[in-house]
Amino acid sequence: MTGYLVGPADELLPGDRRIVDAGGRSIAVFNVDGVLRALRNYCPHMGAPLCEGETRGVMAPGPPQEFRYEERPTVVICPWHHWEFDIRDGSSSADPAVRARSYPVEIRADANVYVLV
Protein backbone atom coordinates (compact mmCIF):
# COMPACT_ATOMS: atom_id res chain seq x y z
CA MET A 1 0.00 0.00 0.00
CA THR A 2 1.11 3.53 -0.73
CA GLY A 3 0.57 6.32 1.79
CA TYR A 4 -0.71 9.63 0.44
CA LEU A 5 -0.25 12.76 2.52
CA VAL A 6 -3.45 14.31 3.86
CA GLY A 7 -1.86 16.94 6.12
CA PRO A 8 -0.90 17.63 9.73
CA ALA A 9 -2.90 15.58 12.22
CA ASP A 10 -3.51 18.58 14.47
CA GLU A 11 -5.33 20.38 11.62
CA LEU A 12 -7.97 17.64 11.19
CA LEU A 13 -10.23 18.26 14.18
CA PRO A 14 -13.28 16.20 15.21
CA GLY A 15 -16.06 16.82 12.69
CA ASP A 16 -13.63 17.97 9.98
CA ARG A 17 -12.91 16.38 6.61
CA ARG A 18 -10.24 16.86 3.99
CA ILE A 19 -10.47 15.66 0.39
CA VAL A 20 -7.19 14.70 -1.29
CA ASP A 21 -6.00 13.17 -4.53
CA ALA A 22 -4.47 9.78 -3.78
CA GLY A 23 -2.93 8.38 -6.94
CA GLY A 24 -5.78 9.58 -9.13
CA ARG A 25 -8.48 8.70 -6.60
CA SER A 26 -10.41 11.42 -4.80
CA ILE A 27 -10.57 10.35 -1.14
CA ALA A 28 -11.90 12.16 1.91
CA VAL A 29 -10.48 11.72 5.39
CA PHE A 30 -12.96 12.43 8.19
CA ASN A 31 -12.31 12.89 11.89
CA VAL A 32 -15.16 11.10 13.70
CA ASP A 33 -14.81 11.60 17.46
CA GLY A 34 -11.02 11.66 17.19
CA VAL A 35 -10.84 8.57 14.94
CA LEU A 36 -9.72 9.13 11.35
CA ARG A 37 -11.73 7.40 8.61
CA ALA A 38 -11.37 7.57 4.83
CA LEU A 39 -13.96 7.09 2.07
CA ARG A 40 -13.69 7.30 -1.69
CA ASN A 41 -15.26 10.53 -2.92
CA TYR A 42 -17.51 8.56 -5.24
CA CYS A 43 -21.08 7.48 -4.55
CA PRO A 44 -21.56 3.84 -5.60
CA HIS A 45 -25.22 4.59 -6.39
CA MET A 46 -24.74 7.03 -9.30
CA GLY A 47 -21.16 8.36 -9.14
CA ALA A 48 -21.71 11.66 -7.32
CA PRO A 49 -18.89 13.35 -5.35
CA LEU A 50 -20.10 11.64 -2.17
CA CYS A 51 -17.76 13.22 0.35
CA GLU A 52 -18.72 16.75 -0.65
CA GLY A 53 -22.15 16.09 0.84
CA GLU A 54 -23.48 17.14 4.23
CA THR A 55 -22.46 15.21 7.32
CA ARG A 56 -24.78 14.64 10.25
CA GLY A 57 -25.65 12.39 13.14
CA VAL A 58 -28.20 9.62 13.34
CA MET A 59 -31.18 8.57 15.39
CA ALA A 60 -30.08 6.34 18.26
CA PRO A 61 -31.97 3.15 19.14
CA GLY A 62 -34.24 3.31 22.16
CA PRO A 63 -37.55 2.25 23.59
CA PRO A 64 -40.79 2.92 21.69
CA GLN A 65 -41.81 6.59 21.51
CA GLU A 66 -38.40 7.75 22.75
CA PHE A 67 -36.39 9.60 20.14
CA ARG A 68 -32.75 10.48 20.69
CA TYR A 69 -30.59 12.14 18.05
CA GLU A 70 -26.83 11.59 18.23
CA GLU A 71 -25.35 14.83 16.93
CA ARG A 72 -21.83 13.63 16.19
CA PRO A 73 -21.43 13.42 12.41
CA THR A 74 -21.16 9.73 11.51
CA VAL A 75 -23.06 9.83 8.21
CA VAL A 76 -22.26 11.55 4.91
CA ILE A 77 -25.20 12.34 2.62
CA CYS A 78 -24.76 12.06 -1.14
CA PRO A 79 -25.37 15.52 -2.65
CA TRP A 80 -27.27 14.12 -5.66
CA HIS A 81 -29.82 11.61 -4.34
CA HIS A 82 -29.38 11.89 -0.56
CA TRP A 83 -28.30 8.33 0.05
CA GLU A 84 -26.62 8.06 3.47
CA PHE A 85 -23.31 6.30 4.05
CA ASP A 86 -21.72 5.56 7.41
CA ILE A 87 -18.36 7.34 7.51
CA ARG A 88 -16.93 4.63 9.76
CA ASP A 89 -17.30 1.72 7.32
CA GLY A 90 -18.95 2.97 4.09
CA SER A 91 -22.21 1.06 4.64
CA SER A 92 -25.40 2.41 3.12
CA SER A 93 -28.63 2.77 5.05
CA ALA A 94 -30.61 2.56 1.78
CA ASP A 95 -29.19 -0.76 0.58
CA PRO A 96 -26.90 -2.98 2.68
CA ALA A 97 -25.40 -4.46 -0.51
CA VAL A 98 -24.08 -1.02 -1.57
CA ARG A 99 -20.98 0.33 0.16
CA ALA A 100 -18.72 3.31 -0.36
CA ARG A 101 -15.09 2.22 -0.59
CA SER A 102 -13.17 2.80 2.64
CA TYR A 103 -9.42 3.04 3.16
CA PRO A 104 -7.05 2.74 6.12
CA VAL A 105 -5.61 5.92 7.61
CA GLU A 106 -2.53 6.36 9.78
CA ILE A 107 -0.67 9.08 11.63
CA ARG A 108 3.06 8.66 11.15
CA ALA A 109 6.02 9.77 13.24
CA ASP A 110 6.15 13.07 11.32
CA ALA A 111 2.70 13.92 12.86
CA ASN A 112 1.05 13.89 9.43
CA VAL A 113 -2.02 11.94 8.37
CA TYR A 114 -1.71 9.50 5.46
CA VAL A 115 -4.42 7.56 3.60
CA LEU A 116 -3.27 4.13 2.46
CA VAL A 117 -4.24 3.02 -1.03
Q: What's the CATH number where 56 sits?
A: 2.102.10.10
Domain count, the chain: 1
Q: What is the pTM of this model?
A: 0.89
Question: What's the rounded Cα separation, in Å, for the pair 35 and 73?
Answer: 12
Q: What is the pLDDT of residue 70?
A: 82
15-66 pLDDT, tens digit each:
999 999 999 999 999 999 899 999 999 999 999 999 999 999 888 888 898 8
User: In this structure, are residues 42 and 27 in contact, taking their beta carbons and an 8 Å threshold?
Assistant: no
Instruction: State residue 58's pLDDT score.
Output: 84
Question: Domain of 29?
Answer: 3-116
* Cα–Cα–Cα angle for 114, 116, 117, rounded to 5 degrees: 140
